[in-house]
Amino acid sequence: MSKELSYLEAIREALVEEMRREPKVFVLGEDVGAYGGAFGVTQGLFEEFGEMRVIDTPISESLIVGASIGASLRGYRPVAEMQFADFISCGFDQIVNQAATLRYRYGGRASVPIVIRAPSGGNVGGGLYHSQNPEAWFIHRPGVKVVAPSTAWDAKGLLKAAIQDDNPVIYFEHKYLYRRAKGPVPEGDETVPLGVAAIRREGRDATVLTYAAMVTPSLEAADRLSKEGVEVEVIDLRTLLPYDKNAIFASVEKTNHVLIVHEDTRTLGVGAELSAVIMEERFESLDAPVMRVTYPDTHPPFSHVLEQACLPNADTITEALRKLAAY
């Protein structure tokens, strides 16, 4: 096997390769220049590509997104960094009104090939404004795509695909995985296509639909259930909009039991949509109610004790799977 990279290194490698391949790709954001980014993702880019392709911006998220849109209208492919996904709300209007609607209101005569990288997620002691998972805000908005990789392979492959995609893509990179997820990465021109889920573990008795940092505890829970004679299939959604209906339905038809696990809060999270679409379109396949394990409807607390109490983990997922399997 070839080299192994961390999730963070995989993101950087995708940026470097795409910038070398395509002169129209550039990055912009706060501290992305000589400093190399708050998490070090863009380290080395400034030295290789210079200040016109690795642009330090003022603390101006709306400007970062808006300027990316402007550049994309002249054929560029900007990759904008939100320092934390929590800060994406400061650029919300440019994403949901400017970027998402542009192709539609231009009568299909233009597109907005931008990527917005947003370091998301908790379990890092970040507190209220450095731990959020705001993906559900964006899957509610037609015109954007939303991805959330869980492995180094996907971190690289999905980012390359996102940069090459002609639509606005919001790329949620999970901070907990930055240095913890390691593995091989695609080489050369290989990418991971948007809109395609991955089966991380096959099983016949129940399906877990999950993504990002919840994939690993879901797999751990599946191993525990296996010892109890219940074989759980774990599907990593990878792309949240458009989500992979075919993969979801195929698994539901096989296992007839569905648990959705996400780190985002419960009400109207990704799970609400998946549950609804499964109910509408695969009701006959279900032997049990679609169940969810999620963050409670609260803000991500700073205290380690409080944060751990909120985060789904292998124990809470195991417990839910047992309940589900009992149907």
Partner 1 sequence: MPPIKRTKFKLTPAQLLDMFYWLKLIRGFDERLSILVRQGKVRSGVYTGIGQEAIVVGTCFGLRKDDYICPLHRDLGSFLMKGVEPRAMMAQMFGKATGLSKGRDSALHSGVSELGIFGNTSMLGANLPVAAGLALTYRMEQTDAVVVAYFGEGASNVGDFHEALNFAGVQRLPILFICENNQYAYSVPIEKSMAIDDVADRARGYGFDGVAINGNDVLAVYQATQGALTRARSGEGPTLIECKTYRWHGHSEHDKAFYRTDEELAMWKSRDPIPTFTTYLRTRTVLDGAKLKEIEARVAAVIDDAVDYAMNAPDPRVEDAVTDLYA
Binding site for partner 1 (CB under 8 A): 26, 52-53, 55, 57-58, 60, 62-63, 65-74, 76, 78, 93-94, 97-98, 101, 103-111, 113, 142-143, 145, 165-167
- Please state the closest distance from residue 266 (CB atom) to partner 1, in A: 28
Separation of alpha carbons 313 and 308, rounded Å:
9
Residues shown for the chain: 327
- Please state the closest distance from residue 105 (CB atom) to partner 1, in A: 5
- Please state the closest distance from residue 124 (CB atom) to partner 1, in A: 28
Nearer to partner 1, 111 or 316 (CB): 111
- Please state the closest distance from residue 50 (CB atom) to partner 1, in A: 10
- Please state the closest distance from residue 54 (CB atom) to partner 1, in A: 12
Nearer to partner 1, 73 or 288 (CB): 73
Separation of alpha carbons 181 and 184, rounded Å:
10
- SS3 string, the chain, reads CCCEEEHHHHHHHHHHHHHHHCCCEEEEECCCCCCCCCCCCCCCHHHHHCCCCEEECCCCHHHHHHHHHHHHCCCCEEEEECCCHHHHHHHHHHHHHHHHHHHHHCCCCCCCCCEEEEEECCCCCCCCCCCCCCHHHHHCCCCCEEECCCCHHHHHHHHHHHHHCCCCEEEEEEHHHCCCCEEECCCCCCCCCCCCCEEEECCCCEEEEECHHHHHHHHHHHHHHHHCCCCEEEEECCEEECCCHHHHHHHHHHHCCEEEEEEEECCCCHHHHHHHHHHHHHHHHCCCCCEEEEECCCCCCCCHHHHHHHCCCHHHHHHHHHHHHCC
Nearer to partner 1, 67 or 247 (CB): 67
Nearer to partner 1, 144 or 293 (CB): 144
- Please state the closest distance from residue 94 (CB atom) to partner 1, in A: 6
Tokens of 263: 């780190």
* Whole-angstrom Cα Rg for the chain: 19
- Please state the closest distance from residue 272 (CB atom) to partner 1, in A: 21
Separation of alpha carbons 108 and 129, rounded Å:
37
For the question of residue 257 being annotated catalytic, the response is no
Nearer to partner 1, 70 or 183 (CB): 70
Nearer to partner 1, 53 or 175 (CB): 53
Nearer to partner 1, 75 or 229 (CB): 75
Separation of alpha carbons 159 and 79, rounded Å:
10
Q: Which residues are catalytic?
A: 130
